[in-house]
Every structure is written in C-alpha cells, then in structure tokens.
Amino acid sequence: MDYKEKRFEEDIETYLLNHGGYIQKNMVGFDKANCIYLSELIYFIRSTQENEWERYEKIYGVESEKKFLKRFNEEVNTHGILHVLRNGINDRGVKLKVCYFKPESTLNQKLVKNYNSNILSVVRQFAYSVENNNTIDMVLTLNGIPLVALELKNQITGQSVENAKKQFMYDRNPKEYCFHFNKRFLVYFAVDLFEVFMATELKGKDTFFLPFNQGSGGAGKVGGSGNPENPNGYNTSYLWENVLSKDSFLNIIQRFLHVSVERKKVLKDDKEIMKLSKKLIFPRFHQLDVVTKLIDDVKINGSGKNYLIQHSAGSGKSNSIAWSCYRLASLHDEHNNSIFTSVIVVTDRKVLDNQLQDTISSFDHAYGLVETIGDGKSSKDLKDAINDGKKIIVTTLQKFPVIYEEVENNKGKRFAIIVDEAHSSQTGSSAQKLKTALADNEEALREFARIEGEEEANIEDFEDKLIKELLTHGKHKNLSFLAFTATPKQKTLEMFGTQHTDGTFHPFHIYSMKQAIEEEFIHDVLANYMTYKTCFKIAKSTPDNPELPESEAKKAIKRYESLHPYNLQQKTAVMIEYFRDVTMHKIGGRAKAMVVTASRLHAVRYFLEFKRYIDKKGYKDLDVLVAFSGSVKDKDEEYTETGLNITKEGSRISEKQLPELFSTDEFNILVVAEKYQTGFDEPLLHTMFVDKKLSGVKAVQTLSRLNRTMLGKTDTFVMDFVNEAEDIKEAFEPFYKETVLDKEINVNLIYDTKISIRQFLLYNDSDVEKFNNIYYKEKQSSTDLGKITSLYTPILKQYNNLSLEERFMFKKSVRNYVKWYAYIVQITRMFDKDLQKEYNFLKYMDKVLPKNSQEQVDLEDKIKLEFYKLEKSFEGEVILGNDENKGVLTNVETVDVSKGKDKKDELLENIINHINQRYMGIFSEGDRVIVETMFNKVKLEDKKLKKYAKKNNMEVFSESIFPKVFADVAQECYEEQMGAFKKLFEDKSFYTAIMNEIAKETYRELRNQ
C-alpha cells in the first residue's frame, strides 16, 4: 500500500477534480512576482464580460492586460483582495468583476451562467517564491488568483499537523508578496490524517493557528477536540469534500470572510495613541457548520420552526449571529420567493450590546441593509422598521411592549427572530408582546373558529381584544426563533429546543464548553481555582439581649462581617499582593483582574480600600476602576461610578469610556457589582477575585469572563472567598457538554394552580369579570384606573386577615400562575378565555399585594467582630464531566407552593452563637480583632477629641492630633493583653492601618455628635 504524503495529496486532488468543481493546473503561466495566473483571469473576464472587456481594450489597446494587472494590484493593495473579489475593479469608467457568486434565485440565467464560468484550479507543489525553490503542498486558485494554501502531513511517515504549522511559521517568508495580509492567500490550512488547523495571516513565530475540527462527537454534536472516525475515508476529508468544494468555498468568500478592524488606545512614549489593528475572520468549523445547517433546515421547513444553538461562551457567537442574519435575510425558497420578510436580532439587555451591534453592522456588504434600533432611537423607529420591511433589524426586547399594538397587519409577512443569550426573559410578558407585534394570526383564527363553532368571517370582524390576545399564543407559522446561548435553562430548552421521540428536548446544534476548552479556543477557568474560608467570631457589645427575627438577624450579622473594615482590609491585602506577585507578570505584563462583589456598597468600599492600600504602599504601577449602576449612599457620602473613576490626568471616566480605558496600561483592576459579569469581552482579563455568592447560570457567566484567549495568555486564575469548589462544580456541570430537558411541562398544572388560589376565597368570578370588562375597554376613561384599584380593596382587606404563612402561600401561588401562564401560552395555544381573564386579573393583583414586611434589623451598635481569620480551603483544578447525568435538567412537576420557613424570634446572643458555629475557625490570641476595642477606648480616654474633630479637617485631625492619643491607647491595650496586641508593635504597616482606620471612624462619629 502507498502511504506516502504524495498519496495523501493525490487523494485530495482526485476528489476535488471529480466532485469538487476544480480543474488540474501546474506552474505554467504563473507570474511569481505578482502571484497570479493572469491569462486565466483575463480568460474569465472575456468569457463573462465581453462588452466590458471590449470597452477596456478600446481604451488601452495592446497594453490592456498590462494595465489591467496594474489596476488590479492597485485596488488590492488599497482595499484588499477580499474587497476586490466581492466588488471587482473600476478603471476609467469600466467595471470588471474578477469572480461571480451564486445568485439567490435562478430567475436571472445570465448570473447563473456567469457563476458556472468561475474557474477553480488545484495546483500541487506550488512554487511560489522569487527567492528560492520552496513549494507549498497544495494551492487552490479562483480564476487564476491563489487563495488557499494547504500544507499536508502524514502521521504514518512521522509528521503531523504541528510540522505543517511550523512550516508555515518558519519556512514561509511573510515578506513575499503572496503572503502579504489580504493580498492573495485568504487562508492557510495545516492538515494531517486526523486534524486540521487554520490561520489567516502569516506572521512568522507569531502566526496564530485556530483548530478547524468537527469535534470528536461529530459536527454540531457533543464531544471533545479532534474529529470522529470516518468509515468512508480520511477523518479530515470534510475539509475538501464540504468546505473547499466549489459552492461552499465561493459561499464562504461571499458571505463569511470578514476583515475586522479594532481600535484600541495604547500608551506609547507616555502618550495615549489610537492603534488600528486588522484581522481577517475565516469562520471556525462550528460556525460554518451551524449556519449551513440552519439554512438547509429553513430551506426545507420554511418559517415557523424554532432552533436552539448551545455554543460555549467565548466561541464567537456574535459572528455566528451576524452570518446567520445575512444568510436568512437573503434566503429564497424553491419558487424564488424570499423566505423571511425581515430578520430581527433581539437582546434583552436594556443597553443594546455594542459588540453584537457593531459586528452585525460591520458585515453590511450592502449599505443600509441593517437597521439598528440602539441608543438614541425610540420604539417608534422600531415600529417603522418593521412596517417598512427592513431586511435586518437589531433591537432590544424592551422596545416591543411599547409598539406591539401599532405594528401594521402582518398577513403574509414572515420573520426570523434571533435571540442573543436566550434566558427566562424570553419566556415572559415582553417576549409575548414581541409575538403579538409580529404574529400572522390567520392560522390561529381558523383554529379558534373550529373550536368555537363560529364562522371565520364573523370572527374576523369581531373586535374582541380578548380573542386577539388568545390568537397570539403558541407557535406561529410566520415566526422562526433562533436562540443562541451557552447556558440554556429548562424554559429555554422547551421553547426553542428540538423534541426527540423519547420526549426530551435537545439543542439543534452544539459547540460544547468541553470541546472549546480541549481545542484551546477558550481557557478552562476552573483549571486554577483557589477558595478561602472566612472564619470569624461575633461578640455582643451591649448588655441588652433583645428578641429579633432569626433570618433577618443572621443576614444582618453576615452583612456586618462582610462590610467590616477589617474584613475588607485583609482581603484587599491578599488580592493586591497576589496580583503584584503573580497576575501582573502574566500576558507579557499586561494581565488584568476583576473583583466581583456582593453589592454596590461592597463595590464602593472595596474600591476605596484598594485605593487606600495602593497609596499607602506607594505602588505606582497599579490603579483600579469601579463599575456599578446608579448612586450609592454610605453614611454621609454619596458615590457614583463616574464620580469615583478618574484618570491620572484628573479627567472623569464615563460609563461608555470605562471598557476602553480598562484595556489600556493605565488600569489593572476592575471592581464590579452586577456589571460586566456577562457579555464583557476583554482577553487581557486573567484573574478573578470573587467575594459574592454565585450559583447556576450566573456562576458560569461570571467566571467565563476569564476564558478569552490571546497571544501570550497561557492560563487563568480564580480566588474565591465565598463559594466552595464543589458549589462551582455543581454550577458548571449541566453546561459542560450538552444540556437536555427531560420532558415537556404539564400545561394542565395551570388549572391546579387556579384551584389552589381560589380555595383562599379572597375573590370570585364576578370580581374577575368586572376587572376584564374594564381592562378590555376600547378607550380608557378618567375613572377606570380608580375602579380597578377599588375593586381590589376588599380583597386586600381579607388578604391582610390571613396568617403569615397563608399570605406567603397565596402570594407565591399568584406569582406562579402569572409566571407559568405567560410561559405556557408561548409553547401552546390554550384558547381558554377564563384562564386568560384570570391571568389579567392576577397580574394586576400581584402588583397591588403588599410586600412581605421584613423587619429591618440594625445591629451596628450591638455587636462587634472579635475574631477573624482567612484560611485557604482549596487549591487546584475543579474537574468536570465525570457524571453523565448532570447535563439533564428536570422540568417542573408541580406548582404547589411549599410552606414558607417559620419565622421565629431569638435572643441576640443565641443568634450570634449560631453564626459563630458556622464561621468559627481555629483562632490564636494574635488573630483577635482589635479595632472595636481600641475605638471604644479612644472615645472614653480623651474628652478633648470631640472639640478637635469639630474644629479641624480630617487631615489635620488624623495626622497631627490623633497619633498621640492612639499611641497612648495602644500602649494601655498592650499592657492589658500582650498576646492580642503585640502584632501592633511588630508590624509598623499594621499599626498605621489600624490607626488610620480608627482615626477616620472617630473623626466621622465625633463631628456628627
């Protein structure tokens, strides 16, 4: 058997010649200096644009070919070969195309003929160089222009894809014209018998190769890296059989390849300059595969089907969405009719995702195809875009409730709705309003007419808003939903997933976290995980022992500990010193960290503590930013994000500027509270410090901010002060491979919920009917809102007479009904008027029911932190994938309300003991927290301090007056308890930190007395 590399070459060539639409070619006629088969390109132009070439020859005569090559190179050097392939060249009024793409419809036979005239050639041992005799194993050309280079290796002869990569990196001179970026070759493939890798630019040792494999489970299926066994040939044959065959390759050039331009501010010679970088985007295999399979399925099934795409975070979803948009917007059926009137991209973020918006707009090969309803545009603009039939509309979910009644009749219109990061918001009332705005209700109307036994004609004229609302329920033939997410929940799977014969719901296409990690397309954020256990002991600082609600008191104590200055100081020191010792040396000294905090107040206090610590230590190479929404009041001070974030020059940093400035060398650490934990794409982010409880999808989304790859980034690190390694493992497991839903929801549970609510006897059918008569009125009068409010008054009185437990159960049941009905009617048509009326009534009731009154427990002056210690509890890799059943989510089986926790009052001392039992560590005397003790002594010892605080500013008080008082108190404490206070005199920085903290608190309290 012949197993040499030449045989591998020959087998690929044979397939391309017999089945791929290629012809065989050698080096005859190749112009090495210009890297082109000029005669072949001229032949193509003569064949397809005879009149244009005649005009061109009249202008240039015998110099035509020479002038054409000159102009061709000018346009390529200015705009790039990709632009010229798509747009052709212009020369003195003559427009010449260098290739033709497959038309969407077959109505224009001239375009079909031109497409078929394209000449695709395969050249083996391609001698490209003007410097030496080097050859590339195989090159593919289009109309004489070399566009694809393949280096082929064979494990049987001792070489692999790694050798092919090295050949491109070290044996191919990037300075040779054929290798210039976007001048000739668009993609470089390194191929062996088992794997494929690709690059779009040769940069010597910095050449960046990406995997181009199907995955071990097969394309779009769960698996790891590599390719599955192929019983019919080579494991890598999909490359030449599918990707590089004529139709596929020309489709990639026309609709997928994309030059991405990135603008970033960088510091050069201490000056901030804008750096432009360009890269050519060639689709990864999973991206090409999902778009191809979506389009093929839509061509067969038309509109009306839903699709769930489970692609890992960091896998390039924005590009996949953009490519899907363009294919769907231009898709025609077998009768040459457009399948969709418009493609609408929906995100549930109130501020439209700039990355997604920019990606889609940048793919706009035909100007004006995309209408972005982002910042500065109103719901009216969305309504106009839909009514005008704009081909691609990018918007937020929040705009639909405003316009859903104003959209013109959608009879005959069909919409593809692409949902970015599909979660529970896509199953609620805003998503239902989207359907109401876009649904063609003709089919639903016929179904309703059959059920009601009425004539269809009568119903069309029947202006009943209730029936109109019922008609929007369920799935609609004119609406196709395509939902992209890395972390699908139960509702997402049932609404958008594909149901198998066994009743389970699965994604339509998968690119798993497991595969992405194994392919090194993303980093494994759990590979280097460290957890700390916070041990502390609380003591009473009051002789009182009041009775307090247990759960509220426990929360207050834990909050007291988490916001305690000593806790923040200790953790800040650990984080900053780790950053300086490890993180800041990563990614060539450019690595950054994020601190995830439990609340906006935590974020503000951490930010200020970080600033204090950096200033105290004199670290000039470290600076920090903070991100939170709105304003935060802390005692007498009010803080905002823009008020705290300031550049070295003293300029305030706006919310929009923050991501860009964080990526510069000026800032290293970002402290966040419910911001930048999803959708934030910063490859320089290496380390995450977590001081917040994380679980489920939120844990995956938050930690996944670290997973982006870049040149020089070899790992990531997480330091977690709150969660245990096992909790994080539990959160990640369902989304590591494939996420599946076990069964569909039992829609009849909604009737059971209605019965359980009615059993409280708080309202009846008459109340519901009265409400809906007002709710569905054609025009609201000046008294209608008042009537509705009055209608709930007797119900609220009876509600307040219920026991605490009954109130909890009733309120929970009402919420369940509202939530589950809104969900159920999106997956099926109930056509039950009574259920809809009940929903309308209960949705308003849920708003007017009083909130559960939770007694606010303030323990600030009743407790003190006596002991505190941070202990490392875990360090290593959190390993996923051992339990195959973890990826199966279970649907709800009952909407019964579980009994709320009994609220009981306990003595403060008992509550403190409970907390201490949970968080108590092994303490030494040296760990005793001394701040409270010294703070109280300071106030008792020196009566003059109050006068000093009133008359002086903080700086004078803390630097000139307070140190003497503090020194006396410290000496007194040391004499009383040497073990506890000796650290003060052993560690000068510790002494200063405690003194400054007590000075600040003393000053603030005394001035406010």
The pLDDT tens digits for 672-694 are: 998 887 767 889 999 999 999 99
CATH level 3 topology of 283-440+476-511: Rossmann fold (3.40.50)
Q: Has this prediction a pTM greater than 0.85?
A: no
Average pLDDT over residues 176-198: 97
- The beta-carbon contacts of 138-142 under 8 Å, at least 24 apart in sequence, are 138/9, 138/12, 138/13, 140/16, 140/22, 140/244, 140/249, 141/25, 141/37, 141/40, 142/85, 142/99, 142/118, 142/249, 142/250, 142/253
Query: What is the rounded CA–CA span in Å between residue 739 and residue 436?
Result: 30
CA-to-CA distance for 40 and 42, rounded, in angstroms? 5
Place of tokens 């109505």: 107
Q: Per residue in 281-315, pLDDT tens? A: 999 999 999 999 999 999 999 999 999 999 998 78
CB 200 within 8 A of CB 184: no
Which pLDDT band, with edges at 50, 70 and 90, does 908 fall under? Answer: very low
State how far the Cα of 778 lies from the Cα of 781, in Å rounded to an integer.
Answer: 10
Cβ 855 vs Cβ 549: under 8 Å: yes
Portions of the chain given CATH number 3.40.50.300 = 283-440+476-511, 529-741
**Measured CA distances, 508 to 101, 220, 290, 344 (Å):** 29, 8, 9, 20
Residue type, 697: V
Q: What are the CA-CA distances from residue 50 to residues 116, 190, 471 (Å)?
A: 16, 39, 57
Residue with the larger pLDDT of the pair 173 and 2? 173
CA atoms lying within 13 Å on the CB side of residue 458: 7
User: Which of 95, 114, 106 is closest to 56 using CA atoms?
Assistant: 95
Tokens 């231009």 belong to 330
**Cα(29)–Cα(38) distance, integer angstroms:** 8
Q: In sequence order, which residues have a C-beta less than 8 Å from that of residue 85 and are 6 or more positions away?
A: 98, 99, 142, 145, 253
Give the chain's count of helices (H) and strands (E).
Answer: 39, 33
Highest mean pLDDT among 459-473, 611-625, 914-928: 611-625
Question: What pLDDT does residue 442 have?
Answer: 64
Whether the Cβ atoms of residue 126 and residue 146 lie closer than 8 Å to each other: yes
Report residue 210's pLDDT band, with 50, 70 and 90 as the boundaries. very high
In the predicted model, what is the mean pLDDT of residues 531-536? 77
Q: Where are the alpha helices (DSSP H) in 19-117?
A: 38-48, 50-60, 64-79, 81-87, 109-116
218 phi and psi angles, rounded to 5 deg? 105, 160
Q: Is the pLDDT of residue 810 over 90?
A: yes
Give me the residues paired with residue 416 across strands. 343, 480
**Element containing residue 698 per DSSP (H, E):** helix 696-703
Identify the residue with better confidence: 387 or 175: 175
Q: Which of the residue ranges 81-85, 175-179, 493-497, 830-834 would you say has the lowest mean pLDDT? A: 830-834
Reported residue count of the chain is 1009
Predicted confidence (pLDDT) per residue in 937-993, tens digit: 777 655 677 778 777 777 788 888 888 888 888 888 877 777 777 777 777 776 787
Residues paired with residue 533 on neighbouring β-strands, in sequence order: 871
3 state SS of 799: helix
The superfamily in CATH containing domain 529-741 is P-loop containing nucleotide triphosphate hydrolases (3.40.50.300)
